[in-house]
Copies of this chain bind each other. A is one copy, B any other.
Amino acid sequence: MTFKFDNVYIKDIDIVVGQNEKKGPLGSYFKNSYQDFYFEEKTWEQAESKIAFETIRNLLNRNQVDLLIGGDLLNQLTATSFAARNFKIPFLGIYNACATSNEGIVLASSFIDKKLANNIIVNVSSHNNAAEKQFRYPVEYGGPKPQLTTFTVTGSVGVVLSNEKSKIKVESGTIGKVVDYGIKDAYEMGAVMAPACAQTIYEHLKSLNRTIDYYDLVLSGDLGEVGKKILKEFIKKEYNINLKNYNDCGTMIYNIRKQSVYSGGSGPACAPLVVYSYIIDEMKKGNLKRVLVVTTGALHSTTTVNQKETIPSIAHAISLEVAM
């Protein structure tokens, strides 16, 4: 399901990250960061909620906003809800795992394009330790993991979408469908999500009657090095699409060779950390004109994995363009 938007622009961005993201190749783009994982709070969950609070607060201080749409990886989306309770602003909680950010952008863009709102914040966050604790093992175990797994980013990213003209436009968006290729291993996120990513790219191009070279760059959300290879092969074989000017945000947020992040970054904040810093900057500089961002989410829980269920996934796409 694809929408074209005529009057939706990125008005403001606010980002807070943890130490690993600050030390990564895009570190210079992140002005606000914390040195440890607690951010002066007592727990990792409170820490995540704190940075979600900070990005939302900073955007509200600089903008008149009608609505907050947001989500995170924590059970019951508490990072976002607990941040939202500090502000008197209408709130909609959304969840499609690491595809959440584009779910929010498509919803917000639809509302703005149809004049239901003037300015909407979309905020997503994730926290490595809080996610590890919830989804895997106690972090203190230090258990080794397979190299194909990914590393949840620590960060909060808020974006104000607006009908007020700016340099960057949200030109269109595609809502994806749930796919399930029968994978049960929760470490194989790249393989789980690559088919959903491929399907959404295909449907986006088809519904807008475009070929892949319409875009200067195609970015997947957080497939990592392993999933990136799978996507390229899969989308060629299944849909005959040659991904040339393509990269994966999970492979861009860290220096994979030097930082111990396995196959790369992941989490709802992973793609937004890359897109709303470096990519937007490149677009403003004129180095990129049209960028397709496809965020990818794995829709399992620890319960479903323990019950030996296969893992469904979904991907949503947005097209960002330098405004004329």
* A-to-B contact residues, CB < 8 Å: 1, 3, 42-43, 45-46, 66-67, 71, 74-78, 81-82, 84-85, 87-97, 103, 107, 110-111, 114, 116-117, 134, 175-180, 299-304, 307, 309, 312, 314
If A178-B91, A303-B45 touch, whether A114 touches B110 (CB-CB below 8 Å) is yes
Q: Is the CB of A94 within 8 A of B91?
A: no
Most chain-B CB neighbours within 10 Å: which of A1, A302, A309?
A: A1
Most chain-B CB neighbours within 10 Å: which of A76, A77, A81, A176?
A: A76
How many Å from the CB of A132 to the closest CB on chain B? 13
In-complex Cβ contact of A1 among B67, B300, B301 (8 A)? B67
The complex places the Cα of A97 from the Cα of B84 at a distance, in Å, of 15
If A299-B76, A309-B82 touch, whether A90 touches B175 (CB-CB below 8 Å) is yes
The complex places the Cα of A179 from the Cα of B43 at a distance, in Å, of 22
The complex places the Cα of A58 from the Cα of B157 at a distance, in Å, of 39
If A74-B301, A77-B299, A178-B84 touch, whether A114 touches B114 (CB-CB below 8 Å) is yes
Q: Is the CB of B301 within 8 A of A92?
A: no
If A45-B307, A307-B43, A312-B84 touch, whether A95 touches B76 (CB-CB below 8 Å) is yes
Q: Is the CB of A77 within 8 A of B95?
A: yes
In-complex Cβ contact of A81 among B45, B78, B312 (8 A)? B312
Output the nearest chain B residue to A76 by Cβ-Cβ distance.
Answer: B301
The complex places the Cα of A299 from the Cα of B85 at a distance, in Å, of 10
Q: Is the CB of B97 within 8 A of A76?
A: yes
Q: Is the CB of A81 within 8 A of B178?
A: yes
Q: Is the CB of A307 within 8 A of B1?
A: no
In-complex Cβ contact of A78 among B74, B91, B300 (8 A)? B300
Q: Is the CB of B75 within 8 A of A302?
A: yes
If A114-B114, A312-B84 touch, whether A45 touches B93 (CB-CB below 8 Å) is no
In-complex Cβ contact of A175 among B45, B91, B94, B301 (8 A)? B91
Q: Is the CB of B81 within 8 A of A303?
A: no
The complex places the Cα of A81 from the Cα of B111 at a distance, in Å, of 24
The complex places the Cα of A304 from the Cα of B301 at a distance, in Å, of 18
Q: Is the CB of A1 within 8 A of B90?
A: yes
Output the nearest chain B residue to A67 by Cβ-Cβ distance.
Answer: B1
Residues of B within 8 A of A42 (CB): 307
List 16 other contacts, CB 8 Å, given A76-B300, A89-B177.
A45-B303, A75-B76, A76-B95, A81-B312, A81-B314, A82-B304, A85-B180, A90-B177, A91-B176, A92-B103, A92-B107, A93-B96, A93-B299, A94-B95, A107-B107, A134-B303
How many Å from the CB of A301 to the closest CB on chain B? 4
Q: Is the CB of A312 within 8 A of B85?
A: yes
If A81-B299, A300-B76 touch, whether A307 touches B97 (CB-CB below 8 Å) is no
If A66-B1, A85-B178 touch, whether A303 touches B95 (CB-CB below 8 Å) is no
If A1-B90, A85-B312, A114-B116 touch, whether A304 touches B95 (CB-CB below 8 Å) is no
The complex places the Cα of A46 from the Cα of B301 at a distance, in Å, of 12
Residues of B within 8 A of A180 (CB): 85
